[in-house]
Chain A
């Protein structure tokens, strides 16, 4: 019996070693523009490292380059995971500089911003195909989730067989509808939160540790 127990322990240690990587997991934060990706990335980074990832703004495409915050260790319920957070530009199939003119921007600045935004989206798609180990997909729960970008991106993530956590953000707003997101992607669990107000972050961290550890 002792021999069998010892053998079983040895096998467990070997298999644990096979599946436990010392390398941090690169977790991409994806979603449409203005879903609150950078606000979430900053919330996670500040909670666990004290630093922020990048500036937040209500103007679409504030994040125009994928930004990485390395070595964020999250502990919950005895599980520990070290992740590199990759905050990506909001994915879209169209960028029109005239959209930025509505935010009191000069044409030259709007054109430059749109050019940077297109480069950023292309970069985000490349990261998704090549360089991430898991995805946190952030949706604005006040908006209709049945958009083509969401349908395509979830399809792309599923085809890559990446673990994905769907977050219904902005639950602090009155128009928030979490069930609508849950109905749109019934094959995945939906976690509600407000990254801005820090609501339900405990559950978010629990799920990050569970999904990506």
Chain B
């Protein structure tokens, strides 16, 4: 049984109920992430993933935040406890590359649906520019 939540507005997803029965999925809207700092976003993601949840971000992270997410994930890996994350986004299409003007004007969009889960529970089966297929298992 899978349970999906979208949070209750206080900055963190609600306490889980009956999570032992399945895999919890937290779908976090772009509006929820908007007011958070990079480290708050990373904390929100990693806290969820370390509890065994699948976190889906409506609008993804910036490249700089992705870089920090990898760095913080590495510092938290611990033998027999947490082996890291699996993260999936659609590969960026070169035709959607923002021009220099857009980047200078801050119009560069980072919107890309992003799925993040514990490395030992999520396995990517197929990935291309239009489809990500993943297998999610219980702990």
Residues in A lying within 8 Å of B, measured CB to CB: 91-97, 111, 114-115, 118-119, 121-122, 125-126, 128-129, 146-148, 151-152, 155-156, 158-160, 184, 186-187
A152 and B63 contacting across the interface, CB-CB below 8 Å: yes
Stretch at the interface among B19-27, B51-59, B83-91: B83-91
B residues less than 8 Å from A91 (CB atoms):
70
B residues less than 8 Å from A148 (CB atoms):
86-89, 124, 127
Q: Which of B63, B84, B94 contacts A93 (CB 8 A)?
A: B84
What 0/1 pattern do residues 111 to 124 of B give for CB contact below 8 A with A? 00000000110001
What 0/1 pattern do residues 56 to 68 of B give for CB contact below 8 A with A? 0000001110111
Q: A155-B66, A156-B67 are in contact. Are A187 and B97 (CB under 8 A)?
A: yes
A residues less than 8 Å from B8 (CB atoms):
none
Closest Cβ of chain B to A191, distance in Å, is 18
Which of B68, B77, B124 has the most chain A CB atoms inside 10 A of its CB? B77
Number of A-B residue pairs, CB cutoff 8 Å, is 84
Closest B residue to A94 by beta carbon equals: B84
B4 interface residue (CB < 8 Å to A): no
B85 and A184 contacting across the interface, CB-CB below 8 Å: no
State A126–B71 Cα separation when bound (angstroms): 8
A93 and B91 contacting across the interface, CB-CB below 8 Å: no
Closest A residue to B77 by beta carbon equals: A118
Q: Chain B: how many interface residues by the 8 Å CB criterion? A: 29
Q: A111-B79, A186-B94, A187-B97 are in contact. Are A159 and B62 (CB under 8 A)?
A: yes
Q: Which of A97, A146, A156, A186 contacts B79 (CB 8 A)?
A: A97
Q: A125-B71, A186-B94, A187-B94 are in contact. Are A159 and B64 (CB under 8 A)?
A: yes
B75 interface residue (CB < 8 Å to A): yes
State A68–B128 Cα separation when bound (angstroms): 36
Closest A residue to B62 by beta carbon equals: A159
B residues less than 8 Å from A156 (CB atoms):
63-64, 66-67
A96 and B66 contacting across the interface, CB-CB below 8 Å: no
B75 and A95 contacting across the interface, CB-CB below 8 Å: no
State A151–B70 Cα separation when bound (angstroms): 13
Closest B residue to A114 by beta carbon equals: B79
